[in-house]
């Protein structure tokens, strides 16, 4: 090969969770990265490039995985990528402070036919614990390059790039010491290998497939079941059946190999010091203090939202959006009114909606980013696990769901902190049932207008929302996910100081992807809803929206609501607080909220009002949330499921409320 | 009988040796990968009477649901019992 000209090297970054892999990725690629999704998955895919001398490195960040057995979609993605896309090098980041467990992934990567380089990260943390690692001894034992690094301080990156080049240039010298198989399984393995020999797709290493089948790997077992002739498969199957314990035995074998590999390379103190992590955890995971600390953090988040976020939102709304709208209206003074409407009430309003989300998103993303980066997230999950189990969820879903009380958008986007794809999907589906501040604002306005004890009604509605949330969680878990029990197994990583570079980058990326993906949907829907409520006549009373509302009147009768209330629900799709403005226009109360309250009192029975509030609480979320759901699930299918599900739940809730309340009133 | 018991019965601060994993393939596989293999030393960091537990093994802190902890069998070095 010619080395003089610039060359492209494809690097895959692998590693277990919590090893600083994203820090390494960010250091290497900086702002030259793109965040998307793995095809057909809700799992984040990050790709980026970096340059060193005249070489270009195209880096792909594989999902963090403990192993390469297809126990989760993440593991499947990582291994399929390595096997099928064949990157030039796989860089595995390992945590020096938990070397044994981290080398497990390495033991799975070495048998694949792609060169491996180990990035031995967090050597500073290991040193603090009195652990000494001789990286060159480890290198000699494993037969692969080992690069010591402290990613949080930017140390070791250049060395890593140099070693990657070395591997590419001297490819022939790459002779890893792949783990051997324990003697008691050797014969079985050879038997399986000879049986499947001619039927393994060429890109898969045969020995590796044989071992994975013996381990009980579902995906590869199914693949071979389809490819093998029936009698051969039966024979393979009977061997697997006889060795059902093999998954533990093979893992034990790998750990025994790891112990041999690191024996000479690592010196550990007999009794480790009491770590800061252990001391902090006495508080953070304490049954009482842990809850109080979590409550404190949540209180702080919401305080920040109200102290900084909401005023900023209003500033943006009044000064930025308001000024632009005003200027455009003036500039379009001579244009037909529908043009002004389309641009000002449709487009600028839509862009304004997107913009006003920024302050709140910024605060929530920052909070999530920091909690995740310092290692606290797992503790919050541990403390909340018992409660989340009530709805078939794990502790990790708690924080994103709780953020929903502020706004459902960051709640949905925040589900990225949940590793399991299934738990993430379930959390996204029920997240809109957490009543956000905008929904509560509508309740706060309407409840006092109808009821003598609005506080009780408000708390009742809140309790109802949470009850429906819980039941929906159980229901979706049972029906969609077949009630499969999700084992609660979670690593509690070491605490460390926040890495601002990683946190700012993650905030920036999340904001950017919201703007790009959700922003366009919000804008489009804003324009459409404007058109429906302004055309053809220019006022909402005669608009398409109103005609549609009248069509819905038969449904409305079941709930005791006339078409104007139905239209109010429809327009709340843009933003929940729109419901009140729409009612103001339709009931001719103008901007006077007190006037509207008085009119509503005379038109609606208390039963119908209660039904309206129930629907409003459980209804389809605002367009921004729906856009966020589309962005996160990366699927119109799940977005539709979510919308239809909430539509049915809210209407059923409304009908039941009206009918029962009417009965009780008589 | 020797003193083999489920991991969930270990008291905070006690150390034991992992003996066996019970349960379905996915469960055993996930735990084995994390280092729950026969012969490894495991220390209970927190065991309240209910809810998930926290253990330390192979320099890693891991939280396990109580149901999961019941399916890990360990051998205890408890003195005087």
Q: Which residues touch A631 (CB under 8 Å, ≥6 apart)?
A: A413, A513, A514, A517, A518
Report the residue of chain A nearest B63, measured CA to CA. A490
Tell whether B22 is within 8 A of chain A (Cβ): no
Report yes or no: A62 and A86 within 8 Å, Cβ to Cβ.
Answer: no
User: pLDDT-based confidence at A6, cuts 50/70/90?
Assistant: low
Within this chain, do residues A202 and A142 fall inside the same structural domain, yes or no? no
Query: What's the total number of domains in chain A?
Result: 3
The pLDDT of residue A1? 42
Both structure tokens of A599: 């009119």
What's the mean pLDDT when you consider all of chain A? 86
Tell whether A513 is within 8 A of chain B (Cβ): no
The pLDDT of residue A589? 66
Tell whether A291 is within 8 A of chain B (Cβ): no
Give the residues across from A489 on adjacent strands. B64
Q: How far does chain B reach from its first CA to its final CA, in angstroms? A: 13
The pLDDT tens digits for A281-312 are 889 888 889 999 999 988 888 788 778 888 88
What's A261's domain CATH number?
Answer: 1.10.287.1770
Within this chain, do residues A160 and A192 fall inside the same structural domain, yes or no? no
User: pLDDT-based confidence at A553, cuts 50/70/90?
Assistant: confident
Report yes or no: A105 and A248 within 8 Å, Cβ to Cβ.
Answer: no
Within this chain, do residues A232 and A159 fall inside the same structural domain, yes or no? no
Within this chain, do residues A161 and A211 fall inside the same structural domain, yes or no? no
The pLDDT of residue B64? 92
The pLDDT tens digits for A82-126 are 999 999 999 999 999 999 999 999 999 998 889 999 999 999 999
The pLDDT of residue A109? 92
Task: Count Cβ neighbours within 10 Å for each residue of A214-245 and write b for 16 or more, e otherwise.
Answer: bbbbeebbebbeeebeeebbeebeebbeebee
A175 located within any domain: no
Within this chain, do residues A159 and A190 fall inside the same structural domain, yes or no? no
What's the CA gap between A400 and A368, in Å, rounded?
Answer: 9
The pLDDT of residue A590? 62
Report the residue of chain A nearest B64, measured CA to CA. A489
Q: What is the mean pLDDT of residues A217-224?
A: 88
User: pLDDT-based confidence at A368, cuts 50/70/90?
Assistant: confident
Within this chain, do residues A192 and A148 fall inside the same structural domain, yes or no? no
Tell whether B63 is within 8 A of chain A (Cβ): yes
Both structure tokens of B45: 């960091």
Q: What is the mean pLDDT of residues A595-608?
A: 84
The pLDDT tens digits for B37-68 are 999 999 999 998 888 899 999 989 999 988 89
Within this chain, do residues A398 and A478 fall inside the same structural domain, yes or no? yes
- How near does any CA of chain A get to the CA of B1, in Å? 23
Tell whether B60 is within 8 A of chain A (Cβ): yes
What's the CA gap between A99 and A95, in Å, rounded?
Answer: 6
Within this chain, do residues A242 and A296 fall inside the same structural domain, yes or no? no
What's the CA gap between B2 and B23, in Å, rounded?
Answer: 22
Tell whether B26 is within 8 A of chain A (Cβ): yes
Q: What is the mean pLDDT of residues A224-232?
A: 89
Q: What is the DSSP letter of A133?
A: E
Q: Which residue has the higher pLDDT, A488 or A145?
A: A145
A1 located within any domain: no
- How near does any CA of chain B get to the CA of A36, in Å? 28
A278 located within any domain: no
Within this chain, do residues A422 and A497 fall inside the same structural domain, yes or no? yes
What's A66's domain CATH number?
Answer: 3.40.50.300
- How near does any CA of chain B get to the CA of A121, in Å? 15
Question: Would you call A489 and B62 a contact, using CB atoms and an 8 Å cutoff?
Answer: yes
Within this chain, do residues A509 and A546 fall inside the same structural domain, yes or no? yes
Tell whether B5 is within 8 A of chain A (Cβ): no
Q: What is the mean pLDDT of residues A159-186?
A: 80
A443 located within any domain: yes
- Quick check: B15 pLDDT over 70? yes
Tell whether A104 is within 8 A of chain B (Cβ): yes
On chain A, the residues whose CB falls within 8 A of the CB of B72 are none
Give the residues across from B16 on adjacent strands. B42, B76
Both structure tokens of A218: 């579902």
- How near does any CA of chain A get to the CA of B12, in Å? 12
- Quick check: A4 pLDDT over 60? no
Q: Which of A236, A267, A298 is the last residue of a domain?
A: A267
A34 located within any domain: yes
Report yes or no: A408 and A434 within 8 Å, Cβ to Cβ.
Answer: yes
Q: Which of A134, A169, A204 is the last residue of a domain?
A: A169
Q: Which of A169, A193, A217 is the last residue of a domain?
A: A169
The pLDDT of residue B80? 46
Give the residues across from A467 on adjacent strands. none
Both structure tokens of A11: 């690097």
**What's the complex ipTM?**
0.93
On chain B, the residues whose CB falls within 8 A of the CB of A390 are none
- From residue A588, alpha-carbon distances to A40, A447, A540 in Å are 48, 20, 11
Q: Which of A4, A396, A410 is nearest to A169 (CA)?
A: A4
The pLDDT of residue A3? 45
Q: What is the DSSP letter of A494?
A: P
Tell whether A174 is within 8 A of chain B (Cβ): no
The pLDDT of residue A11? 95
A279 located within any domain: no
Report yes or no: B19 and B60 within 8 Å, Cβ to Cβ.
Answer: no
Question: Would you call A491 and B62 a contact, using CB atoms and an 8 Å cutoff?
Answer: yes
Percent of all residues in chain A with a pLDDT value above 90, rounded to a whole number = 26
- Find the domain containing A455 and state its range: 289-665
**Could you give the angle at the alpha carbon of A592 between the alpha carbons of A606 and A445, nearest 5°?**
40
Within this chain, do residues A114 and A226 fall inside the same structural domain, yes or no? no
Within this chain, do residues A198 and A164 fall inside the same structural domain, yes or no? no
Among the listed ranges A99-103, A344-348, A372-376, A654-658, which one has the minimum average pLDDT value? A344-348
What's the CA gap between A588 and A574, in Å, rounded?
Answer: 21
What's the CA gap between A44 and A35, in Å, rounded?
Answer: 7
Both structure tokens of A488: 């609660």
The pLDDT of residue A508? 87
DSSP string, A28-67: HHTT-EEEEE-TTSSSEEEEEEEEETTEEEEEEEPPP-S-
The pLDDT of residue B79? 56
Question: Would you call B54 and A285 a contact, using CB atoms and an 8 Å cutoff?
Answer: yes
Report the residue of chain A nearest B49, measured CA to CA. A287
> Among A338-352, A441-455, A508-522, which range has the highest average pLDDT?
A441-455
A631 located within any domain: yes
Q: Which residues touch A422 (CB under 8 Å, ≥6 apart)?
A: A481, A484, A486
A25 located within any domain: yes
């Amino acid at each position: 090969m010619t080395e003089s000209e610039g060359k492209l090297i494809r690097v895959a970054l692998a590693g277990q969770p919590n090893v600083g892999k994203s820090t390494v990725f960010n250091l290497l690629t900086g702002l030259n990265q793109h965040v998307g999704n793995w095809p057909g998955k809700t799992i984040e895919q990050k790709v980026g490039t970096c340059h060193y001398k005249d070489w270009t490195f195209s880096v792909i960040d594989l999902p963090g995985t403990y192993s390469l057995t297809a126990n989760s979609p993440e593991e499947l993605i990582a291994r399929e990528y390595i096997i099928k896309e064949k990157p030039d090098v796989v860089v595995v980041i390992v945590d020096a402070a938990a070397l044994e467990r981290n080398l497990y992934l390495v033991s799975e990567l070495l048998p694949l036919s792609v060169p491996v380089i180990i990035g031995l990260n967090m050597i500073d943390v290991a040193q603090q614990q009195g652990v000494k690692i001789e990286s060159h001894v480890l290198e000699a034992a494993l037969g692969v390059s080992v690069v010591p690094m402290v990613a949080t301080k930017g140390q070791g990156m250049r060395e890593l790039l140099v070693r990657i080049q070395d591997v590419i240039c001297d490819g022939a010298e790459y002779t890893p010491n792949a783990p051997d198989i324990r003697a008691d399984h050797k014969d079985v393995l050879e038997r399986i290998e000879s049986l499947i020999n001619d039927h393994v797709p060429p890109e898969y290493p045969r020995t590796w497939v044989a071992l994975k089948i013996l381990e009980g790997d579902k995906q590869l077992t199914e693949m071979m079941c389809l490819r093998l002739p029936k009698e051969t498969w039966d024979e393979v199957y009977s061997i697997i059946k006889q060795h059902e314990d093999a998954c533990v035995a093979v893992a034990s074998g790998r750990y025994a190999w790891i112990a041999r590999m690191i024996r000479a390379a690592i010196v550990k103190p007999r009794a480790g010091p009491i770590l800061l992590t252990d001391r902090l955890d006495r508080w953070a995971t304490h049954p009482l203090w842990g809850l109080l600390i979590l409550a404190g953090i949540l209180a702080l988040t919401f305080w920040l939202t109200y102290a900084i976020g909401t005023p900023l939102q209003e500033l943006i709304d009044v000064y930025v959006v308001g000024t632009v709208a005003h200027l455009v209206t003036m500039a379009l003074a001579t244009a037909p009114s529908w043009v002004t409407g389309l641009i000002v009430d449709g487009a600028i309003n839509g862009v304004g909606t997107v913009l006003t989300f920024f302050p709140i998103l910024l605060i929530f993303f920052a909070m999530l980013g920091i909690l995740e980066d310092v290692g606290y997230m797992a503790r919050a999950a541990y403390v909340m696990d018992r409660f989340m189990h009530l709805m078939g969820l794990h502790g990790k879903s708690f924080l994103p769901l709780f953020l929903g009380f502020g706004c459902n958008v960051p709640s949905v986007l925040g589900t990225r902190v949940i590793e399991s794809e299934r738990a993430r999907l379930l959390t996204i589906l029920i997240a809109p049932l957490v009543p956000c501040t905008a929904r509560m604002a509508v309740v706060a306005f309407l409840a006092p207008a109808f009821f003598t004890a609005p506080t009780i009604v408000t708390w009742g509605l809140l309790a109802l929302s949470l009850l429906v949330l819980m039941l929906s969680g159980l229901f979706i878990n049972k029906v969609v996910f077949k009630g499969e029990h999700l084992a609660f197994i979670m690593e509690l990583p070491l605490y460390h100081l926040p890495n601002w570079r990683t946190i700012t980058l993650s905030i920036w990326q999340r904001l950017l992807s919201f703007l790009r993906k959700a922003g366009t949907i919000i804008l489009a829907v804003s324009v459409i809803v404007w058109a429906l409520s302004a055309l053809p006549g220019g006022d909402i009373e005669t608009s398409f929206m109103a005609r549609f509302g009248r069509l819905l009147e038969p449904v409305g009768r079941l709930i005791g609501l006339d078409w104007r209330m139905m239209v109010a629900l429809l327009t709340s799709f843009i933003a929940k607080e729109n419901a009140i403005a729409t009612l103001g226009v339709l009931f001719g109360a103008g901007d006077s909220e007190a006037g509207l309250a008085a009119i509503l009192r005379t038109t609606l029975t208390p039963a119908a009002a209660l039904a309206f509030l129930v629907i409003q609480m459980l209804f389809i979320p605002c367009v921004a949330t729906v856009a966020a759901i589309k962005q996160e699930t990366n699927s119109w299918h799940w977005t539709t499921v979510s919308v239809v599900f909430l539509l049915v739940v809210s209407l059923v809730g409304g009908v039941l409320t009206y009918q029962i309340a009417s009965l009780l009133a008589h | 009988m020797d003193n083999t018991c489920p991991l969930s019965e270990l008291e905070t601060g006690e150390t034991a040796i992992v003996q066996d994993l019970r349960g379905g393939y996915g469960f055993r596989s996930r735990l084995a990968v994390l280092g729950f293999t026969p012969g490894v030393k495991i220390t209970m960091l927190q065991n309240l009477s209910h809810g998930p537990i926290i253990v330390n093994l192979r320099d890693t802190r891991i939280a396990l649901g109580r149901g999961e902890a019941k399916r890990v069998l360990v051998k205890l070095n408890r003195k005087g019992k």
